[in-house]
Amino acid sequence: MKKKLLSLLMAGAMTATMFAGCGGSDGSDASADKADDAAADKADDAAADDAAADDSADKADAAADDSASAGGQKLTVWCWDPAFNIFSMNEAAKIYQKDHPDVEVEVIETPWEDVQTKLTTAATSGALDTLPDILLMQDNAFQKNVITFPDAFTDLTSSGIDFSQFAQGKTAYSVIDGKNYGVPFDNGAVVACYRTDILEQAGLTIDDFTDITWDQYIENGKKVLDATGKPLISMQAGECDLIMMMMQSAGSSLFNEDGTANITDNETLKVVMETYKELKESGVLIEVNSWDEYVSSLTTETVAGTINGCWIMASIKTSEDQSGKWGLTNMPSLVGVDGATNFSNNGGSSWAVTSNCQNTDLAYDFLKSTFAGSTELYDNIISCGALATYAPAGDSEAYAAPDEFFGGDAVSKKIVEFSTKVPSNITGVYYYEARDAVATAITNVINGGDIDAELKTAADTVNSQMQ
């Protein structure tokens, strides 16, 4: 199984590399060239030092400084998105450098697709020394990569980082065989956002959508549809984000702990698919053809709300004229499902320390002092929309500040609280393949297919890929 997976990952890596090549030179290649030049310069300096006997003491001090630098007073980081992830890492570096002025943190912009490609190439070719000290990993890909490439990652369980301070559901994404491999970063806690002015036309308020079930949601949605002609929610056709959010809200997964598929006899998944079908048939949910159409449905008042990861708030806020007209609460819970809650997650990422890190103590301390220990950091990066799953951050004044766009509610604090209540789930190695299979199944069910038959087909597809 692993051999076939490696072949698939390598094929994807080669394809991504070809596309990346069309875009010009890679940032990490430029860094490698600089490193080579710097090494040559240092070699020349060392030779000159040996020849200069008159100031040998000064040269000895300089050599000691160079040795300290080479010994790991610098951390290299791969991550993407200058306005979000890179901004946040640079802010973390500033905070750490207050007490550690000699430590340099070099952030190399690396798109997520390139991170995955370079990691796959390094691990399968035995070139782990091409990896940075720290890299950002999408949560849904974390387990797949650690299971497939265990030699590329460092176990953080005994690093001194207090993982109990993070939301359990978030931390679980980077836990493999009971060991911690990632430091949680951005919050993907699910929020339900509504146009309160549209709800009022149907005689409803945000309280009518708080701590409710999906049955109540559908009934409220029918009232809004009758009063305003607007559906409550939109989703992109052929995708299953809402399906995944519903499942995780009850602690259910597409895989069992032993890695086998949990699709055919997954009773929670059946309830989820039945609920989704009812949403669609009632007119409370509409499907659109693309991501752009989805965002447009929110900003142009086509629908009265949405349910998604909290990062969707940034897209909603692009319509500045709607400030004060939005409200935020938790998502509905599944009916008749053990463990059903009003909380879930969609998206997010975590920091990993690679096996190429030459000073793991420095990397551990850096992460422990910033993303796993600094409320100041989370206060600073809230400006770019980065919300914490680090529970102490929710107690700060910055998180308690009212958000006028969402009716003056302290939504940042509320979202951190949501994240602490999210049930954990299992993503496994074949998470994306399983998602695709289930997305096809729900499309067929909406078009009249039998749920049990479609789930069996989805399970067969995933099992075939796993074998």
| Tokens 């940034």 found at | 314
Mean pLDDT of the region 10-23: 34
Closest CA to 351 of 32, 105, 20: 105
Compute CA distances 122 → 13, 126, 129, 183, 315, whole Å: 10, 6, 8, 22, 36
Closest CA to 112 of 104, 120, 103: 120
Inside any domain, residue 364: yes
Same domain, 240 and 133: no
User: Which residue range is the domain that position 158 belongs to?
Assistant: 2-46+73-187+348-404
DSSP annotation of 301: T
Domain boundary among 404, 419, 440: 404
Inside any domain, residue 52: no
User: 236: part of which helix (H) or strand (E)?
Assistant: strand 233-236
Inside any domain, residue 57: no
Same domain, 325 and 275: yes
pLDDT at 16: 35
Same domain, 140 and 94: yes
Inside any domain, residue 268: yes
Q: Which has the higher per-residue pLDDT, 21 or 99?
A: 99
Tell me if 235 sits within 8 A of 241, measured CB to CB. yes
Same domain, 214 and 268: yes
Query: What contacts 253, CB < 8 A, 6 or more positions away?
Result: 247, 262, 425, 426, 427, 428
Tell me if 427 sits within 8 A of 255, measured CB to CB. yes
Same domain, 296 and 223: yes
CA distance 122 to 182: 19
Which range is most confident: 15-19, 47-51, 209-213?
209-213
- Collapse the DSSP code of 218 into the 3-class scheme (helix H, G, I; strand E, B; otherwise coil) and give the result: helix
DSSP annotation of 92: H
For residue 43, is pLDDT > 80?
no
Q: For position 96, which CATH number holds?
A: 3.40.190.10
pLDDT at 72: 54
Same domain, 138 and 196: no
Same domain, 123 and 93: yes
* Residue 24 one-letter amino acid: G
Inside any domain, residue 66: no
Closest CA to 172 of 160, 161, 184: 184
For residue 397, is pLDDT > 70?
yes
Report, in this order, helix, strand and coil percent for the chain, each rounded to 5: 55, 15, 30
Rounded to the nearest angstrom, the gap between the alpha carbon of residue 136 and the centroid of all alpha carbons in its chain is 9
Dump pLDDT digits (tens) for 405-458.
Answer: 999 999 999 999 999 999 998 988 899 999 999 999 999 999 999 999 999 999
For residue 10, is pLDDT > 50?
no
Inside any domain, residue 442: yes
The total number of structural domains that make up the chain: 2
User: 379: part of which helix (H) or strand (E)?
Assistant: helix 375-381
Same domain, 163 and 117: yes
Dump pLDDT digits (tens) for 359-386.
Answer: 999 999 999 999 999 999 999 999 888 8
Closest CA to 266 of 242, 250, 245: 250
| Helices and strands: H and E segment counts in the chain | 19, 12
Q: How far apart are the first and last CA of the chain?
A: 6
Closest CA to 418 of 318, 342, 336: 342
Q: How many CA atoms lie within 13 A of 157 on its CB side?
A: 8
Same domain, 125 and 145: yes
Inside any domain, residue 450: yes
Mean pLDDT of the region 272-285: 97
Dump pLDDT digits (tens) for 179-227.
Answer: 999 999 998 999 999 999 999 999 999 999 999 999 999 999 999 999 9
Inside any domain, residue 412: no
- Collapse the DSSP code of 179 into the 3-class scheme (helix H, G, I; strand E, B; otherwise coil) and give the result: strand
- Collapse the DSSP code of 135 into the 3-class scheme (helix H, G, I; strand E, B; otherwise coil) and give the result: strand
Mean pLDDT of the region 159-166: 96
Same domain, 115 and 194: no
Same domain, 340 and 369: no
CA distance 120 to 115: 8
